Structure 1
C-alpha cells in the first residue's frame, strides 16, 4: 500500500517591493464620468439614476444617462444612497408557486424594469400558495420599499401590508381598494376566445375542467366561460373541479369522459397543466385528440408545445405583465397617482388539439 504524505501549505508571499508593480486596481467609475459621457450635468445624472428626473430632465437626456451608465458599468453607492434617501431600493415579488414558468417570466419582466431604476427584486414563493403569505423578513418595512404580488388574494398579504408598504397586485380584483394599484391580464377575454373557438368548430357538449383554486382569476374564468357558452343555443356546459396538476387533470378528464350522459366533445381546461392530464386521459380511454375529443389549455407554457398534438391555448404576455407591475410600483414610490393600464391583451393560439366534433352516433 502506497503511503501519501501531506504537502505542507505554501507560505504567504511578501508583498512586492521596490519598483515591482502589483496588480492595478480598476478605476472607480463616478457620476462625473457618466455625466461627461452623456454630455449632461452631474445634477442631471443624479436625478435620472435616482429616478427623480420626470419634469426636470428631458426623456432624451434620461436615455443618454442610462445608456452611458450601462456602457461604463457605473454602480452607485447604494449604502450611501439608502442613508440619504431612506430607501433600500429593493422590491419584493410574491408568487404562489415556482413550479411553472409563468411566474419566472413575470419575474424576468419585473426585474428588467427594476434594473432601469437601480432597484433589486427579491422573489418570494409563498409557502402556503395563495393563502396568507408570511413576512419573509423580520421587518418588511425596514428591508423593502414595496411589494408586488402576482395571482395572490389581497387578504393573503396581511403581514406584508401591515408594514405600510406600497402594494401592487397582479391578476387580482381591480375593485379591491386594499392594493395601491392593480394590473391585470384580459383573462375574461381569453376564456371567451376559447369558448368561441370551440363553438365555431361546432362543439355543443363542452366540459370545463375548472381549477379548484379559490382566487379571483379562476372565478373570472368560470364566469366568462359560463356567459360565453350560454349565448350559444344548444350548448350544454358541464363543470368539474381539478387541482392544478397533470394527475389531477387526468382524473377530472376521466370522470368527464366516463360519466353518465352523452360524452363531451371538448374539454376546456383552466390551464395547460390540467390540459396535459386531460390528453392522457383521452388516450388511456382509447380515444384520440382531437378526432374524438378536443382539448384546450390556458397560459401557453412550454408544455403546450411538448404534448402531441400541441395544445390550443391562450398565450399570456407574462414578461410584459411583470414589467407593467414594476412600473406601477415605481409610480407609487415616486408619489405620483397610480394610472394602471387597462387589462393587457391575451392571444388565442390554435394548434392541433382542437377540431370539429365527431359525427353524432
Structure 2
C-alpha cells in the first residue's frame, strides 16, 4: 500500500500543500483559520499520514527527538515513566530515545556521536544524574524528574510530592501506636531519597517519644533482606515498624522478618514506596505510597515541549497517595 503524502492530505482537505505544512508543523496560528487547521488534521488522521521527520529535520534543524535518561528499565517505575513520555511524544510526532545506565545508577556511555545533532532535548531522573556527564556540553534543554528544584542547569523540573508521601506513611504508623522505627533507606545518593530521610526524621521528632534508626541498602530484594536481617537481629533493640524507601527494599524486609520468625504485621509493620506490581505480589500485600509514574513521564515530555516552544513550565508537584494494605497493623 502506498504511503499517503502531504499532497494527498491537501487534496482531501481542499487546501494547499503549504497549508498542510503549516498546520502539521504547528505553525498555523495567525496564518490559517482554526476550522481549516481542524480539516487538515482530520484528513491526515483519516489517511494515516505521518510527516517525513527526516526531511523535516533537514529543513528546520530539529530532530523532534528527546532523550529519556533513567537508572535502569529493570525498575518498573521508570518503565512506566517511559510509557507516559512516549504517549505524549507520539501525539506531537516526537520520538523518545531511552538512555538507561547499564549499572543501574552510574554513568553510561554517550549513545550519540553528537548529542546536539541527534536530539532536541533531554528528560532525566535525578537518580541517573551521573549519566548526564556523557552529554554535557551539548547545550540541550534539560528537564529534571524528581530532583532538587533549587538546583541550577535545568530548564524545568517535574516533581512528586515525596515529602507528603513520607509524612503520610509516618503518621499512619504513629496512629497505629508505633514508636520504635527503622528507616531502610536506599544507598543511592539522590535528592529524592534525601527528602524521604529528612522528612521521616522530622516527622517522628515532632511527634516525640519515638526512636529512629537508619540503615542503607542497594535497591535489590537481596540487599534489603540482608540489611533488614542485621537491623532486626537484636530482640532488645528491635523496631516495631520499618519504613522503606522502595517496595523492593520492603519485600526484602518482609523476607528478613520471616527468616527471624517474626510475623508481618503482627510483630512488625512494613511500608514501601512506589506501589510497584511487587507490592501486591508479596504476602501480606504492602502498605505503600503510590507514585503516578506515567503522569511523571507525561509531564516530563510536556515540560520539554513547553521549553522548546519558548514557554515556561509551571506544573505543580504531582500528588501521591498512601495505599493501606495488609503489611501494617497496630504495634505489638
- 8 Å Cα contact 2:102/2:108 also seen in 1: yes
TM (norm. structure 2) is 0.92
CA separation in 2, counterparts of 1:227 and 1:44? 59
Of residues 311, 317, 323, the one that matches 1:349 is: 323
TM (norm. structure 1) is 0.85
CA separation in 2, counterparts of 1:91 and 1:311? 35
- Summarize the alignment of residues 75-86 of structure 1 with structure 2, pairs less than 5 Å apart: 75-86=50-61
- Summarize the alignment of residues 243-254 of structure 1 with structure 2, pairs less than 5 Å apart: 243-254=218-229
Work out whether 1:69 is the aligned partner of 2:44: yes
SS state at 2:273 partner: coil
Change (3 A) 1:176 1:323: same
Change (3 A) 1:42 1:204: farther
Change (3 A) 1:165 1:102: same
- 8 Å Cα contact 1:203/1:265 also seen in 2: yes
CA separation in 1, counterparts of 2:271 and 2:187? 17
Of residues 203, 227, 234, the one that matches 1:228 is: 203
- Summarize the alignment of residues 17-166 of structure 1 with structure 2, pairs less than 5 Å apart: 26-34=1-9, 43=18, 45-53=20-28, 65-66=40-41, 68-152=43-127, 154=129, 156-166=131-141
RMSD between aligned alpha carbons? Answer: 2.2
Change (3 A) 1:245 1:85: same
Of residues 263, 266, 271, the one that matches 1:288 is: 263
CA separation in 2, counterparts of 1:81 and 1:210? 47
- 8 Å Cα contact 2:122/2:143 also seen in 1: yes
- The structure with the larger Rg is 1
Change (3 A) 1:39 1:320: farther
SS state at 2:149 partner: coil
Structure 1 unaligned residues grouped into runs of 5+: 1-25
Deviation string, structure 1 residues 228-270 (Cα, Å, up to 9, x no partner): 1111121111111111111111111112211374321111000
SS state at 1:94 partner: strand
Aligned-pair CA distance for 1:339: 1.7
Name 1:20's counterpart in structure 2. none
CA separation in 2, counterparts of 1:309 and 1:250? 16
Work out whether 1:184 is the aligned partner of 2:159: yes
Deviation string, structure 1 residues 178-216 (Cα, Å, up to 9, x no partner): 112111111111111111111111111111101111111
CA separation in 1, counterparts of 2:174 and 2:268? 13
**How many residue pairs end up in the alignment?**
332
User: Could you tell which deviates more after superposition, 218-227 or 119-128?
Assistant: 119-128
Deviation string, structure 1 residues 46-83 (Cα, Å, up to 9, x no partner): 33422335666677876665554334211112222111
User: Could you tell which deviates more after superposition, 134-143 or 145-154?
Assistant: 145-154
SS state at 1:348 partner: strand
Aligned-pair CA distance for 1:130: 3.3
Aligned-pair CA distance for 1:38: 6.2
Deviation string, structure 1 residues 2-32 (Cα, Å, up to 9, x no partner): xxxxxxxxxxxxxxxxxxxxxxxx2432335
Aligned-pair CA distance for 1:99: 1.3
Name 2:311's counterpart in structure 1. 337
Between structures 1 and 2, the one with greater helix share: 2
Name 1:299's counterpart in structure 2. 274
SS state at 1:298 partner: strand
Work out whether 1:314 is the aligned partner of 2:289: yes
